[in-house]
Amino acid sequence: MIASDSDELENGYPSGKVNLSTNMLAHGGLQGISCLAAELGKTELAHSLKE
């Protein structure tokens, strides 16, 4: 989880210690990189990115 002291609306809503939007973007990026690595035959890297 990526720590953040505010939400995407600049403290419009209480968000605790993490920002859901930022974390979902990071998660989606890692999934995309994992798929690309698998297509390039880098199965070990693809597997490690999914964990």
Total domains in the chain come to 1
pLDDT at 21: 76
Range of the domain at 46: 1-51
pLDDT at 18: 72
Rg, the chain, Cα only:
15
pTM of the model: 0.66
In the chain (51 residues long), the average pLDDT of successive 10-residue segments reads 66 68 86 95 92 75
Between CA 9 and CA 13 the distance in angstroms is 7
